[in-house]
């Protein structure tokens, strides 16, 4: 700790921080632009100038940049000093020389860091009489809107995009006052994390392209704390709503999970909530196949009548909340509840849960992943299955640079110096996958192997770590690599092994767990992370446990006519079973009842459809891939007859007279019941405060204190204003009344502080800059070092042997397209490719196909699969990789052997038209 003096006031502060960081942590207003808590200081914008005095006698002081000045004991500073204030005012004026006069038509206005800083420094009138520089904008894809005139050249965008996120196609171009931040030509930004530019850019150069249409200012959004449902990482988000539409998704800081950044799938993937195909009313199928809309009383009557049948079963969902799945299981009984995974997914999800539960290694959150100093990824394409993990891994490999800096006593925030020092020196990251991945550029090694061989590589590394029965891979290059990997892992203090359910291969995950256990025995703090498929895969695995009903039993029962009524909860069964199974479902099940928010293949087969509220309109608990339970809250009440899934199920359970549910009425009670009855989920009640929670006797307001238009929004329907909707289920209010002071981290609906309208106001909610939220970190860990040492040496898995004229199917995930709901979001749909099959150039030559041709995929089980060919030179010979989760590949199973032949009737696809081709306004 150091004692410093700022404007005659003494403060005790942390040694080694920079002055800007210190001032912000102390709650003092010091303007800045280029500094970012996650990216450190470079001193580019000169905005955070303060006066530093040599000693007590020094009356003049000298100007220093706050972000480049370490605080040390006895230092004397002045923020209010005349010279410093004048300097900062002049700097803002010069940064604004070329700023266009367009705040009213700027999507950043009202939450603009430049606006805030201009007001803070007191600059008002420009004295410069010259003419302003202008720039042409670029088309940067359907996600990001570019308006280069607004740039103040702080370099945050390129520092984030290139240095932090590892992108290559956004750069500072030209020189002096011609400087331009963009791509070398128009085109879609390549990085999967480009959306963060919206929040990183202190002004309106990069804005949310979707929000530029039907725009709503930050102060007009009704927001709620939520959790991203696009993958199993569970990043914390803020969902903003206006006029019944989700307008945008912003990052909600969680020091343990997503920190300051989201991936593009999460940020732009919530558009499905606004789709026309959302279900609004319960619907009953008529004999002619058309549907009648019902009110919810009659819908419940019909559902109850169907459930009086003798054989009732239910299908849960890994994308529905823990509570909804729990109620569904209570409703039909444990034996007749099927979790709703496909055959391959179920084994992988349950096994991953078991491995993480029983491991001795640490199961890391993203923040812990960022502290790793050696990483081995065994058979998981993290950028495409759990994208945010990839961004954390890019930070983990940079830890070597920080260690090097530590040796030279450089401070961790001296970003430019550390990058110069380290250059390309990184911590080792070893990747084994079926083809190239997006992390290869920072990897120490990258090997392409078939999934069974990836497990063998794991076994070979294990052999090097714990020499035993001489289980070698057999290939000298791979064995040398295994040695190298083992050496790197052994030398590391915090090695991290990542595997996952991506290839549907449980042996790889088991190998990863054994490696982590072996490293733990070696005495280091090893970490094991297993990527999962969907938002609540882990929660469902914990709920059903090891002994849950198997999904192939369900298909058998359907065929045997053993099910009269089947309830399907938020699950599109078409994605989960074979094509034949899906046909049989309709044929053999007498009554099919589906609860879902969107019109899917399953709802259009159902006899009765109950419309559920989406994640943005309901509450629920999700458990992420590391076993962290997190609660999402509704941003707006569901319209029409939409109800949260738990609400429908609770009503059904009450009517059915299910004993266990008779005393459950509110959402919180369901959560508590679930926690009490399932020991593995006991911690979910800690995920967020109960609905009775009040801060200073008040609810947490979802609306900002300047929420506008309350007396005119609904005036077109009736001039009589209705009462604000009441929220009995959560501690949040659909109103601007209430207190945001001392709000727990799990309940923060937006970030705002006087004078700080932009998201930079976050530091006012943190204990200190970059540290956890003052109200506590959201979520509760369900798995945390419960494991015990079990070192079992599994047998060496069998080697992969390519077959003549047969191909081994491997799933290939895509960040945009593999996740069911986010792929429906309009901006992401533009970036999603139709289903494809990747083959090697050799295979393409043998089959006489080129890119864009069609292939027929067949074996004794599969018939009639036709997919577009993509040639991937990095793919392992003998494998064919299909696009997982895309319409057209449902029913394909990983690890199947198939024959391929050219489709003579294939129509080649026309090149897709993107917005820039249509001559849209850039």
Partner 1 sequence: MLKSLRSQLTTLWTILSHTFTRAETVQYPEQKPYLAPRYRGRIVLTRDPDGDERCVACNLCAVACPVDCIALQQDVREDGRWYPEFFRINFSRCILCGMCEEACPTNAIQLTPDFEMCEYDRNNMVYEKEHLLIDGPGKYPDYNFYRVSGLAISGKDKGEAQRELPPIDVKSLLP
DSSP string for 803-827: BTTBEEEEEE--TTTSSTTGGGSHH
> What is the SS3 assignment for 304-348?
HHHHCCCCEEEECCCCCCHHHHHHHHHHHCHHHEECCCCHHHHHH
Q: Which is nearer to partner 1, 87 or 219 (CB)?
A: 219
Site membership for partner 1, residue 110 (CB under 8 A): yes
Binding to partner 1 (CB under 8 A) within 224-253 occurs at 243
Burial of 28 (0-12, 13-18, 19+ CB in 10 A): middle
Q: Which is nearer to partner 1, 61 or 187 (CB)?
A: 187
Site membership for partner 1, residue 666 (CB under 8 A): no
Closest CB 635 distance from partner 1, rounded Å = 17
> What is the SS3 assignment for 375-396?
EEEECCCHHHHCHHHHHHHHHH
Task: Select the span of 103-111, 279-287, 772-780, 869-877 touching partner 1 (CB under 8 A).
Answer: 103-111
State the residue for tokens 């006991």.
682
Spatial contact of 434 and 881, defined as CB atoms under 8 Å apart: yes
Closest CB 247 distance from partner 1, rounded Å = 10
Helix (H, G, I), strand (E, B) or coil at 313: strand
CA distances from 391 to 199, 264, 386, 417, 883 (A): 16, 12, 10, 22, 22
Binding to partner 1 (CB under 8 A) within 124-153 occurs at 130-137, 147, 149-150
Task: Select the span of 39-47, 172-180, 429-437, 898-906 touching partner 1 (CB under 8 A).
Answer: 172-180
Interacting residue with partner 1 among 11, 53, 87, 215 (CB under 8 A): 215
Q: What six digits make up the tokens of 845?
A: 């030559």
How far is C-alpha 232 from the geometric centre of its chain's CA atoms?
Answer: 7
Site membership for partner 1, residue 104 (CB under 8 A): yes
Comparing CA positions, the residue from 78, 84, 73, 88 lying closest to residue 17 is 73
Spatial contact of 517 and 791, defined as CB atoms under 8 Å apart: yes
DSSP string for 392-409: HHHHHTTHHHHHHHHHTT
Interacting residue with partner 1 among 31, 40, 66, 109 (CB under 8 A): 109
**Rounded (10°) angle between helices 296-307 and 645-656:** 60
Q: What six digits make up the tokens of 8?
A: 């005659």
Comparing CA positions, the residue from 343, 353, 352, 386 lying closest to residue 575 is 343
How far is C-alpha 760 from the geometric centre of its chain's CA atoms?
Answer: 21
Q: Which is nearer to partner 1, 148 or 314 (CB)?
A: 148
Q: Which is nearer to partner 1, 132 or 694 (CB)?
A: 132
The backbone torsions φ and ψ at residue 31, rounded to the nearest 5 degrees and listed phi first, read -70, 150
Site membership for partner 1, residue 708 (CB under 8 A): yes
Q: What six digits make up the tokens of 892?
A: 């394909």
Question: What CA dihedral angle connects 726, 729, 735 and 736, to 10 degrees?
Answer: 150
Task: Select the span of 101-109, 311-319, 514-522, 666-674 touching partner 1 (CB under 8 A).
Answer: 101-109
Comparing CA positions, the residue from 105, 137, 575, 88 lying closest to residue 344 is 575
Q: Which is nearer to partner 1, 710 or 909 (CB)?
A: 710
Site membership for partner 1, residue 784 (CB under 8 A): no
Spatial separation of the C-alpha atoms in residues 483 and 55, rounded to whole Å? 58
Closest CB 505 distance from partner 1, rounded Å = 48
Closest CB 338 distance from partner 1, rounded Å = 44
Spatial separation of the C-alpha atoms in residues 157 and 170, rounded to whole Å? 8
Spatial separation of the C-alpha atoms in residues 521 and 758, rounded to whole Å? 48
Q: What six digits make up the tokens of 644?
A: 């949260």
Site membership for partner 1, residue 105 (CB under 8 A): yes
How far is C-alpha 866 from the geometric centre of its chain's CA atoms?
Answer: 31
Spatial separation of the C-alpha atoms in residues 463 and 514, rounded to whole Å? 11
Q: What six digits make up the tokens of 215?
A: 């725009």
Q: Which is nearer to partner 1, 177 or 728 (CB)?
A: 177
Closest CB 98 distance from partner 1, rounded Å = 9
Task: Select the span of 96-104, 267-275, 508-516, 688-696 touching partner 1 (CB under 8 A).
Answer: 96-104
Site membership for partner 1, residue 723 (CB under 8 A): no
Closest CB 690 distance from partner 1, rounded Å = 32
**Site for partner 1 (CB under 8 A): how many residues?**
47
Site membership for partner 1, residue 663 (CB under 8 A): no
Site membership for partner 1, residue 102 (CB under 8 A): yes
Site membership for partner 1, residue 178 (CB under 8 A): yes
Q: Which is nearer to partner 1, 243 or 784 (CB)?
A: 243
Spatial separation of the C-alpha atoms in residues 139 and 197, rounded to whole Å? 15
Closest CB 99 distance from partner 1, rounded Å = 8
Q: Which is nearer to partner 1, 138 or 603 (CB)?
A: 138
* Cβ-Cβ contacts under 8 Å for 390 (sequence gap 6 or more): 192, 382, 383, 438, 439
Site membership for partner 1, residue 713 (CB under 8 A): yes
Site membership for partner 1, residue 850 (CB under 8 A): no
Q: Which is nearer to partner 1, 179 or 466 (CB)?
A: 179
Spatial separation of the C-alpha atoms in residues 198 and 147, rounded to whole Å? 12
Task: Select the span of 27-35, 69-77, 102-110, 879-887 touching partner 1 (CB under 8 A).
Answer: 102-110
Report CA Rg, the chain.
Answer: 28
Q: Which is nearer to partner 1, 408 or 719 (CB)?
A: 719
* Cβ-Cβ contacts under 8 Å for 786 (sequence gap 6 or more): 357, 358
Site membership for partner 1, residue 711 (CB under 8 A): yes
Closest CB 162 distance from partner 1, rounded Å = 18
Site membership for partner 1, residue 402 (CB under 8 A): no
Interacting residue with partner 1 among 718, 723, 804, 907 (CB under 8 A): 718
Q: Which residues pair with 251 in a beta bridge?
A: 237
Task: Select the span of 117-125, 175-183, 539-547, 774-782 touching partner 1 (CB under 8 A).
Answer: 175-183
Strands 222-227 and 236-242: antiparallel
Closest CB 179 distance from partner 1, rounded Å = 9
Strands 76-78 and 222-227: unpaired
Closest CB 106 distance from partner 1, rounded Å = 8
Interacting residue with partner 1 among 60, 125, 127, 176 (CB under 8 A): 176
Read off the DSSP letter of residue 163. Answer: I
Q: Which is nearer to partner 1, 178 or 409 (CB)?
A: 178
Q: Which is nearer to partner 1, 132 or 861 (CB)?
A: 132
Q: Which is nearer to partner 1, 274 or 445 (CB)?
A: 274
Spatial contact of 617 and 280, defined as CB atoms under 8 Å apart: no
Site membership for partner 1, residue 180 (CB under 8 A): yes
Closest CB 132 distance from partner 1, rounded Å = 5
Interacting residue with partner 1 among 480, 715, 842, 850 (CB under 8 A): 715
Spatial separation of the C-alpha atoms in residues 667 and 643, rounded to whole Å? 13
Strands 49-53 and 62-65: antiparallel
Quick note: the x/- pattern for partner 1 over 668-707, rule CB under 8 A, is --------------------------------------xx
Site membership for partner 1, residue 716 (CB under 8 A): yes
Spatial separation of the C-alpha atoms in residues 787 and 118, rounded to whole Å? 54
Site membership for partner 1, residue 639 (CB under 8 A): no
Site membership for partner 1, residue 826 (CB under 8 A): no
Task: Select the span of 98-106, 432-440, 840-848, 874-882 touching partner 1 (CB under 8 A).
Answer: 98-106
Interacting residue with partner 1 among 60, 124, 213, 409 (CB under 8 A): 213
Closest CB 506 distance from partner 1, rounded Å = 50
- Return residues touching partner 1 (CB under 8 A): 100-105, 109-110, 130-137, 147, 149-150, 173-174, 176, 178, 180, 212-217, 219-220, 243, 706-713, 715-716, 718-720, 921
């Amino acid at each position: 700790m150091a004692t410093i003096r700022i404007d005659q006031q003494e403060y005790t502060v942390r040694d080694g921080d920079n002055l800007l960081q210190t001032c912000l942590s102390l709650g003092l207003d010091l303007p800045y632009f280029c500094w970012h808590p996650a990216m450190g200081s470079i001193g580019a914008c000169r905005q955070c100038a303060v006066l530093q005095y040599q000693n007590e006698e020094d009356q003049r002081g000298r100007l220093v940049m706050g972000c480049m000045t370490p605080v040390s004991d006895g230092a004397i500073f002045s923020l209010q000093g005349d010279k410093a204030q004048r300097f900062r005012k002049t700097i803002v004026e010069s940064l604004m020389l070329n700023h266009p006069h367009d705040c009213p038509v700027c999507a950043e206005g009202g939450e603009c860091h430049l606006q805030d800083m201009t007001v803070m420094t007191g600059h008002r009138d420009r004295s410069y009489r010259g003419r302003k520089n202008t720039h042409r904008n670029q088309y940067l894809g359907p996600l990001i809107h570019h308006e280069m005139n607004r740039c103040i050249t702080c370099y945050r965008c390129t520092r984030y995009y290139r240095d932090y996120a590892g992108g290559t196609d956004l750069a500072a171009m030209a020189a002096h006052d011609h400087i331009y931040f963009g791509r070398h030509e128009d085109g879609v930004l390549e990085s999967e994390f480009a959306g963060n530019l919206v929040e990183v850019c202190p002004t309106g150069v990069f804005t949310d392209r979707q929000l530029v249409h039907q725009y709503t200012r930050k102060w007009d959004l009704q927001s709620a704390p939520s959790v991203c449902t696009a993958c199993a990482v569970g990043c914390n988000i803020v969902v903003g709503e206006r006029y019944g539409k989700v307008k945008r998704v912003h990052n909600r800081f969680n020091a343990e999970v997503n920190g300051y950044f989201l991936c593009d799938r999460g940020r732009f993937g919530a558009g499905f909530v606004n789709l026309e195909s959302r279900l609004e009313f319960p619907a009953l199928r008529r004999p002619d196949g058309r549907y009648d809309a019902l009110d919810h009383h009659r819908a419940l009557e019909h559902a109850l009548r169907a459930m009086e049948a003798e054989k009732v079963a239910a299908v849960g969902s890994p994308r529905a909340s823990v509570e909804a799945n729990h109620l569904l299981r209570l409703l039909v009984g444990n034996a007749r509840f099927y979790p709703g995974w496909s055959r391959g997914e179920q084994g992988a999800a349950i096994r991953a849960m078991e491995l993480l539960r029983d491991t001795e290694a640490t199961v890391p959150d993203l923040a812990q992943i960022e502290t790793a100093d050696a990483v081995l990824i065994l058979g998981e394409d993290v950028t495409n299955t759990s994208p945010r993990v990839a961004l954390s891994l890019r930070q983990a490999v940079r830890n070597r640079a920080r260690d090097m800096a530590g040796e030279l006593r450089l401070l961790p925030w001296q970003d430019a110096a550390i990058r110069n020092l380290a250059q390309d020196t990184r911590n080792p990251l070893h990747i084994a996958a079926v083809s190239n991945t997006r992390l290869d550029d920072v990897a120490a090694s990258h090997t392409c192997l078939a999934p069974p061989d990836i497990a063998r590589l794991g076994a070979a590394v294990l052999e090097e770590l714990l020499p035993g029965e001489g289980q070698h891979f057999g290939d000298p290059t791979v064995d040398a690599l295994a040695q190298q990997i083992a050496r790197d892992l052994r030398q590391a203090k915090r090695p991290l092994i990542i595997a996952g359910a991506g290839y549907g291969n449980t042996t790889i995950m088991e190998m990863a767990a054994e490696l982590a256990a072996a490293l733990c025995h070696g005495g280091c703090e090893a970490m094991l992370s297993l990527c999962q498929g969907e938002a609540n895969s882990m929660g469902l695995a914990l709920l059903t446990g090891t002994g849950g009903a198997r999904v192939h039993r369900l298909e058998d029962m359907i065929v045997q006519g053993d099910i009269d009524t089947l309830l399907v909860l938020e699950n599109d069964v078409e994605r989960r079973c074979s094509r034949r199974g899906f046909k049989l479902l309709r044929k053999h099940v007498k009554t099919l009842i589906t609860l879902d928010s969107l019109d899917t293949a399953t709802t259009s087969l159902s006899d009765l459809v109950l419309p559920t509220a989406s994640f943005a309109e309901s509450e629920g608990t999700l458990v992420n891939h590391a076993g962290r339970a997190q609660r999402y809250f509704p941003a707006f009440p569901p319209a029409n007859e939409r109800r949260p899934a738990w609400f429908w199920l609770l009503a059904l359970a009450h009517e059915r007279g299910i004993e266990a549910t008779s005393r459950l009425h509110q959402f919180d009670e369901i959560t508590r019941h679930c926690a009490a009855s399932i020991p593995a989920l006991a911690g979910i009640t800690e995920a967020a405060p109960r609905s009775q929670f009040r801060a200073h006797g008040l609810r947490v307001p979802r609306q900002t204190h300047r929420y506008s238009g309350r007396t005119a929004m609904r005036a077109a329907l009736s001039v009589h204003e209705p009462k604000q909707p009441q929220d009995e289920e959560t501690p949040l209010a659909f109103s601007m009344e209430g207190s945001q002071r001392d709000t727990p981290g799990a309940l923060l609906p937006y970030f705002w502080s006087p004078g700080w309208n932009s998201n930079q106001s976050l530091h006012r909610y943190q204990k200190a800059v970059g540290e956890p939220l003052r109200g506590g970190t959201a979520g509760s860990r369900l798995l945390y070092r419960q494991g015990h040492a079990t070192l079992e040496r599994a047998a060496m898995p069998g080697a992969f042997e390519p077959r003549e004229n047969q191909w081994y199917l491997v799933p290939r995930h895509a960040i945009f397209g593999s996740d069911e709901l986010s792929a429906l979001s309009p901006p992401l749909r533009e970036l999603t490719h139709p289903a494809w099959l990747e083959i090697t150039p050799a295979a393409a030559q043998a089959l006489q196909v080129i890119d864009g041709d069609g292939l027929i995929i067949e074996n004794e089980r599969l018939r009639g699969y036709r997919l577009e060919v993509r040639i991937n030179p990095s793919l392992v010979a003998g494998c064919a990789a299909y696009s997982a989760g895309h319409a057209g590949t449902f029913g394909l199973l990983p690890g199947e052997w198939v024959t391929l032949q050219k489709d003579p009737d294939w129509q080649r696809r026309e090149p897709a038209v993107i917005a820039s081709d249509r001559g849209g306004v850039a």
